[in-house]
Amino acid sequence: MIVLGIETSCDETSAAVIQDRRVLSNIISSQLVHEHYGGVVPALASRAHLRMVRPVIDEALNTAGMSKKDIDTIAVTHGPGLVGALLVGLTFAKGMALALDIPYFGVNHMEGHIYGNLLSREQPAFPILFLIVSGGHTMLVLMRDHLDYTLLGTTRDDAVGEAFDKTAKVLGLGYPGGPVIDKKARSGDPDFIRFPQAFLKDAHYDFSYSGLKTSVLTYTEKHTTEHLERHMNDICASFQKAAIDVLITKSLRAAKAHQVKAIAFAGGVAANSYLRTHLTEKGRQAGFDVYQPELAYCTDNAAMIAYAGWHHLQRGERSPQNLNAVPSLPLGATAP
């Protein structure tokens, strides 16, 4: 089965072609316009998707050596995300499916991140404890089998990726914040400042990052510009340790409690070097397999959407033409 994937949930316009598990193309157009504003501007994102969706799809098909007539089906993100951005990809997919007389399926973006990790695993060992970490989401999910999910915990305020972005803005490091903080933290002292770690010792699996973000702001207000510049790498390393160690601790605790065979992580923050190194080391020391996603499949991309859709389509599932974009779509929800 050849699947065209389309992803337009936020600020990347992406299209991919897969044949079963084999990725034939995965084209991503990132919207640099948001850097000027220090965050994603929804109206600008939607306009950029409108300009780019067709050229990106055409490039994905050309790279894969395919024509539109070679596509058997389409998988497209229909939530969660920015409603205007989602509608661009979803509407294009519906029209294309009608014109080609082929089925399509609306994919949950979080499910896409899960399958972005599993693209690298021919035979994953279930059950798996999934840590999904991105700019908009932080959650722990128990995956008992393909397409079978139980949400164990989520953030009660800011997502971890959002905390990285907001902290970078406070420190004057620009947007997006994750990569620059990660880079500076590598040469900093992670024990320089002891920032708060909310819910670290609590038995539940929820997260909170608003207090950590506020703590960084308070620290910058109490110190001189000279001090902040001199210790910028230390501040970044201390923030990163506080943010990521909570993820690692709760992931290991949940994995042991639910007796999983593997721990996996996915989403934009899955590219963070501290998370990749320490969760992998500690997870394996605790006796779990640890599934790292390839860096190419951490950020928003259409290959992960195509592969998630492939699993649904293999079961004979299809989406109707009246499927709508759902900006707050929960993981595991069934489309009407």
Indicate whether 159 belongs to any domain.
Answer: yes
Average pLDDT along the chain: 94
Indicate whether 335 belongs to any domain.
Answer: no
Q: Is the pLDDT of residue 202 over 80?
A: yes
Cis, peptide link before residue 55, omega less than 30° from 0: no
Helices and strands counted in the chain (H then E): 10, 10
Contact, 133 vs 269, CB < 8 A? yes
If asked whether residues 139 and 86 sit together in one domain, one would say: no
**Pick from 243, 258, 221, 281: which is nearest to 155 by CA?**
243
pLDDT value at residue 36:
53
Residue type present at position 21: R
Q: Which CATH number is 283's domain given? A: 3.30.420.40
Q: What is the strand order of the sheet 262-266 is part of?
A: 148-154, 138-145, 128-133, 262-266, 289-291
Render pLDDT for 59-76 as a digit per residue (tens, 0 to 9): 999 999 999 999 999 999
If asked whether residues 175 and 34 sit together in one domain, one would say: no
| C-alpha span between 329 and 78 (Å, rounded) | 8
If asked whether residues 167 and 279 sit together in one domain, one would say: yes
CA atoms within 13 A on the CB side of 194: 0
If asked whether residues 64 and 145 sit together in one domain, one would say: no
**How many residues would you count in the chain?**
336
If asked whether residues 47 and 61 sit together in one domain, one would say: yes
Report how many domains make up the chain.
2
Q: Is the pLDDT of residue 117 over 60?
A: yes
Indicate whether 204 belongs to any domain.
Answer: yes
Indicate whether 96 belongs to any domain.
Answer: yes
Q: Is the pLDDT of residue 335 over 80?
A: no
Place of tokens 């790498």: 233
Cis, peptide link before residue 127, omega less than 30° from 0: yes
Indicate whether 120 belongs to any domain.
Answer: no
If asked whether residues 172 and 215 sit together in one domain, one would say: yes
Contact, 16 vs 60, CB < 8 A? yes
- Expressed in percent and rounded to 5, the helix, strand and coil fractions of the chain are 45, 20, 35
Phi, psi of 174 (to 5 degrees): 90, -175
If asked whether residues 263 and 279 sit together in one domain, one would say: yes
If asked whether residues 174 and 287 sit together in one domain, one would say: yes
pLDDT value at residue 336:
41
pLDDT value at residue 122:
85
If asked whether residues 141 and 95 sit together in one domain, one would say: no
pLDDT value at residue 41:
76
If asked whether residues 62 and 130 sit together in one domain, one would say: no
pLDDT value at residue 38:
63
If asked whether residues 152 and 223 sit together in one domain, one would say: yes
Cα three-residue angle 94-100-103, rounded to 5 degrees: 55
Q: Is the pLDDT of residue 19 over 60?
A: yes
If asked whether residues 261 and 221 sit together in one domain, one would say: yes
Indicate whether 184 belongs to any domain.
Answer: yes
Residues of the domain holding 130 = 125-292
Tokens linked to 328 = 């707050």
